[in-house]
Structure 1
Amino acid sequence: MEDTQLPTEEEQRFRQQQAEASRRLFALLEESAGSKAHINAVTILGTKSTRPSFLQTATNKILEAKNVADVINKSQDVAETLMRLDIFDHVHILLDNATDSDPLAAPGSINVVYQVKEKSRVFIKTGTEIGNNEGNMNGSITLRNVFGGAELLETVASFGTRNSSSFQFTLGKPVNASPDSNIDFNAHRVLCNNTLTSSYEELARGAGLRYKTLSRFGYHELSYDMTWRSIDRVSPSASLSIRKEVGHSLKSSINHVFVRERRDDILLPSNGHYLRLSQELSGVLGLGDSHFFKTELESQFCHQFGGGQILKDKETDEFLGLHPGFVMSTTFRAGWLANLSDDDDPKKASTVSDRFLLGGPLSIRGFRNAGVGPRDYRDALGGNMYWAAGISAIAPLPKLESKPLRAHAFINAGTNVPSGSTLQSTAQALMKSPSISAGLGLIYRHSIARIELNYCVPLTAAKGDQIKRGLQLGLGLNFL
């Protein structure tokens, strides 16, 4: 039997005094919350590298306070903003009655003091990353707060399966000292290995300007890029269509991306919705060799049925979590690429790198990577228009409800076609019999990626499609 030491009378009295002091403090705050108050001064202690003018912009919001409640709420909001700038290890707040230190201060004046500690300005990181059917090793050197205004200078080098080598340089800064808006200049050099789907490699070198911001609707990204691309590493077995693409091209484009993320988990969601819409206009100001407009839509909706029951270990009675229930997930994707060049000027059109690829374990399961759509022999050429849809029923495995392992059944369908000569022929191509597959499988949610092992059965396929009946392994972030 364990000994239980009771608190002494002195300890009990101290605890009672603490509880009484807290009760009186909350009562005082409640009484004075609506009392008029204004900020006398804002002081930030502990900064060495950050510019005073930048900090003044970051803390201006607190000067709008009209009463005690405003002072408390806005001072906390500013502290959160300072932390989100990612240049401080911690931010502590101290509110002080200004008349205590300055008898000449107006009644109701409050001094706000922030005690901060700046993060190290140099940060070096190495690691591995997993994307959609892609893995890489990378290393980066990051300089924080370069000019004292939360600027970020980052150099990243990575080597992977799809991007054989990638080097990127970025210099960015927050706009109006807000962590929700950022503008950056970037330069890159990427060697992209496309030999899994087509017989070529592409080297891209470029630079651009990018603006990123958050609104109440979601995330926005607006950018301008100038990229010099060259397809000059073609295998001996490359098709004639790929050989015609060999050479250099210059792309001058404006891009916009909108993302609305309302799912409870990005890898294995149970509830919520996701929307991503992107547009690209190439050939801006008449520059470059590629003139086209490209837009793509991706959406997902998930809903959970049942679940919520408490799961406990039968032997130890330890809490394991809540029953995940059953989930229905629907996903839809579509894209359209319109060439804006004249028919007699084929060099000013899109290349194989601009067009859409469809098929594989992350899109239409039961088909090989880029196995749905136009191709020449073994080389995927990509389509100008596509749509793909999928529905999945996801359930936990018996006695493994608390584990990140699920079983699912799915149906996928889609079409990937070139542009038609007329609107009617284009519509007919999109509405023709799609490529369809169905199957069963297991989903494992790893901390950095989602892994699927499925048994797939292609039900219908277009001429030239590459099917993959049987087991198929998928590793990535976004699945149909």
Structure 2
Amino acid sequence: MEEPLLGKSNGPDRNAMLKLPCKVTGITVSGVRFTSKEFIQRLLQRAQEKTTHGELAEELSRASGRLEQIGIFRAVRCEVDAGQKDDDVVILVDVEEKGRHTVSTGTFVNEGEGNLEVSWTLRNFGISAEQVQSSVACGSSGSNGFRVEFVKPYITDNLSFQASAFENLKRIATPRSVGEKKTGFAMTLGQVEGSSSFTYEISRRSLAGASQDDGWESKDMTSLKSSIMHTFLRDTQDNKESPTRGWLIKNVLEVAGIGGLGCKFWKNEVYAQVHHSPWREKSFLNSITLSLTGRFGVLQTLGGDTSRYFDRFHMGGAWSLRGFKPRSVGPSFGHGYAGTVSVGGEAMAMVDASLSGDLPLPASLSRFTKARFHVFGNVGNNVAVPSGPPVLTKCSQVFRDVRSAVGVGLLIPTPLGRLEINLCLPLRGSQADMDRASFVQIGLVPV
């Protein structure tokens, strides 16, 4: 942003030019067909408060980013022009809008199942960048779903709003004849430039294909949830797919039973990652990264209620606890992996430590893949905690009889997510866990 404003980066007295005073006297917007000019001008209000050319250049760069992130513009250009007086400047904003309608296809991964999604977007539903989006998805194991969503990117200078209606059916790993069906409505208020968001959701959950004759409890088969969720997220990672430095922390707190409806509980889950490349300055070790990942969660029922299948924690798989099959760790019923069904736990914890680096591939191959190797070790547990006493007083159970595994493998970025091919050695677990252990594990992890 600074070069159009201040000239070439190697020009004379650049630092002095950055400190020159200025006063923004107007904002001119061009290129709009559907978007309100007043909406764009409102997003640049902070620029009018800047008093030097350096401050103005930085703010215009941030404003361009905000406009691009909305998703309705193909291009955004912000420049300044001289005003009537010596220190006066006028901001010139030129945008190129995307088409009103877009139909697109995409792929994503949900607990190792690949999904194809077809979506339609109506941009500029109003005049302030509102959008309507609808999507239909189907999975490789029979999962399916649809969603209709209304998005208003700015209801205030730093708050966004979205509302959605949805229905989805997700086939569980074992048995595939049972699916998690969820139908509901959700509203979210989130900080545009911040770390917090609040979501209200009311949904009906049911286990399609399940019956009490197969061992399922009636309270798990159908339930209603009315909850408020607060999500806090901070992310400084340098790369989403294969981070080499930075950290991430995410905390999700949910309280259910709002309005006296449905199941009653509070639930909290913390997820954190930290990455460090200690030998970045040494050429033959510069790709080596040390990573530490942790998860901890508790579920506490309220008002004498009991926990439900949909609200409990499930663990196992490449995206959760390597060395164990999907959803195989924790409370279950049935015998043998083929007939064992996970029902989830009220307290869980997991820690994973790994060392990763670039594969020493020839240049002819490294152009096509950014595959990395990794060596890992993880420990974790998922336990049932009886309703009644505060679950936090019994969380020590999660640190007893922990499951653990070590292994080596490949990390391959793909359009669907990160493909992991691991050789695992489970070290500790119950006999049932060992029956459900995974020595060769292939899984897709969403990023």
Please state which band the TM-score falls in when normalised by the shorter chain. 0.7 to 0.9
Which residue, out of 393, 414, 419, partners 2:385? 419
Deviations 1:285-332 (CA, angstroms, capped at 9, x unpaired):
2122x111111111122222324566xxxxxxxxxxx86432222211
> Which residue of the other structure, out of 188, 192, 217, is the alignment partner of 2:166?
188
Residues 41-440 of structure 1: matches in 2 within 5 Å?
41-99=26-84, 108-161=87-140, 164-176=143-155, 178=157, 181-194=159-172, 196=174, 200-215=178-193, 219-234=195-210, 239-240=214-215, 242-245=216-219, 247-288=221-262, 290-308=263-281, 324-342=286-304, 348-377=305-334, 378-399=340-361, 404-420=370-386, 426-440=394-408
Q: 1:110 to 1:397 in 2, by over 3 A?
A: closer
Instruction: Give the Cα–Cα distance (whole angstroms) in 1 for the partners of residues 393 and 198 of structure 2.
Output: 34
- Specify the SS of the correspondent of 2:432: coil
C-alpha separation between the residues in 2 aligned to 1:186 and 1:24?
A: 47
Which segment drifts farther, 35-44 or 194-203? Answer: 194-203
The CA distance in 2 between the partners of 1:410 and 1:22, in whole Å, is 50
Residue matched to 2:3 = none
Q: Distance in 1 between matches of 2:328 and 2:8?
A: 68
Aligned with 1:464: secondary structure?
helix
Q: Which residue in 1 is equivalent to 2:439?
A: 470
Q: Pick closer, same or farther for the CA change 1:246–1:199 going to 2, 3 Å.
A: farther
SS in 2 for 1:234: coil
Distance 1:400 1:195 in 2: 38
* Cα distance in 1 between the residues matched to 2:210 and 2:229: 29
Contact 1:299 1:333 in 2 (8 A): yes
CA gap of 1:405–1:90, structure 2 versus 1, over 3 A, is closer
Q: How many Å separate the matches in 1 of 2:30 and 2:245?
A: 44
Q: 1:113 to 1:438 in 2, by over 3 A?
A: closer
Out of 461, 464, 469, which is 2:429 matched to?
A: 461
Q: Give the aligned residue type for 2:42.
A: T
How well do the aligned residues superpose, as a CA RMSD in angstroms? 3.1
Residues 107 and 416 of structure 2 are in contact (CA less than 8 Å); yes or no, is this contact kept in structure 1? Answer: no
CA distance in 2, matches of 1:45, 1:81: 17
Where 2:310 maps in the other structure, the secondary structure is coil
Cα deviation code 1:141-167 (max 9, x no counterpart) = 101111110111100111114671111
Corresponding residue SS for 1:111: strand
Q: Are the structure 2 counterparts of residues 399 and 252 from structure 1 closer, same or farther at C-alpha, using a change threshold of 3 Å?
A: closer
Q: 1:64 Cα deviation (Å)? A: 1.6
Q: Which runs of 5 or more residues in structure 2 are unaligned?
A: 1-5, 335-339
1:452 and 1:272 map into 2 onto residues whose CA distance is 22
Measured after TM superposition, the shift of residue 226 of structure 1 is 0.7
TM-score (structure 2 length as normaliser): 0.86
Instruction: Check conservation: 1:163, 1:190, Cα contact below 8 A.
Output: no
Deviation at 1:476, TM superposition (A): 1.0
Is the partner of 2:394 in helix, strand or coil? helix
Give me the whole-angstrom Cα distance separating, in 2, the residues matched to 1:393 and 1:33: 44
In structure 2, distance between residues paired with 1:396 and 1:96 = 48
Q: How does 1:17-36 map to 2 (within 5 A)?
A: 26-27=11-12, 33-36=18-21
Instruction: Show CA shifts across 1:208-249 (max 9, x none).
Output: 210122556xx322100011223342279x632x14346532
Q: Aligned partners of 1:283, 1:189: CA distance in 2, in Å?
A: 21
Amino acid at match of 2:279: G
Q: Secondary structure at the match of 2:143?
A: strand
Shift of residue 36, structure 1, vs aligned partner: 4.2
Change in Cα spacing, 1:395 to 1:35, as seen in structure 2 (3 Å) is closer
The residue number in structure 2 matching 1:14 is none
Q: 2:420 aligns with which of 438, 452, 455?
A: 452
2-side partners of 1:270 and 1:32: how far apart? 37
CA distance in structure 2 between the aligned counterparts of 1:374 and 1:129, rounded to whole angstroms: 28
For residues 284 and 126 of structure 1, the distance between their equivalents in structure 2, rounded to whole angstroms, comes to 36
Distance 1:154 1:228 in 2: 22
Matched-pair identity in %:
25
Taking the aligned partners of 2:23 and 2:89, their CA distance within structure 1 comes to 6
The higher radius of gyration belongs to: 1
1:367-390 deviation per Cα after TM superposition (whole angstroms, max 9, x unaligned): 221111111111111001111112
Deviations 1:30-54 (A, max 9, x none): 6565454323322112212112332
Native 8 Å contact 2:205 2:310 kept in 1 = no
Distance across 2 between alignment mates of 1:208 and 1:231: 20
More off after superposition, 290-299 vs 259-268: 259-268
Q: Which runs of 5+ in 1 are unaligned?
A: 1-20, 100-105, 311-321, 343-347
8 A contact 1:232–1:246 mirrored in 2? no
Letter aligned with residue 214 of structure 2: S
Task: Describe the SS at the equivalent of 1:154.
Answer: strand
Q: CA offsets per residue over residues 75-122 of structure 1, 9 Å max, x none?
A: 4443443333322222334533333xxxxxx55333332222222111
Q: Say if 1:234 and 1:243, in contact at 8 Å, map to a contact too.
A: no
Distance 1:272 1:118 in 2: 35
Shift of 1:454: 1.7
Q: 2: distance between equivalents of 1:23 and 1:146? A: 40
Comparing 430-439 and 67-76, the one that deviates more: 67-76
Q: Which runs of 4+ in 1 moved over 6 A?
A: 21-25
Q: Displacement, 1:199?
A: 5.9
In structure 2, relative to structure 1, the CA distance for the partners of 1:282 and 1:246 (3 Å cut) is closer
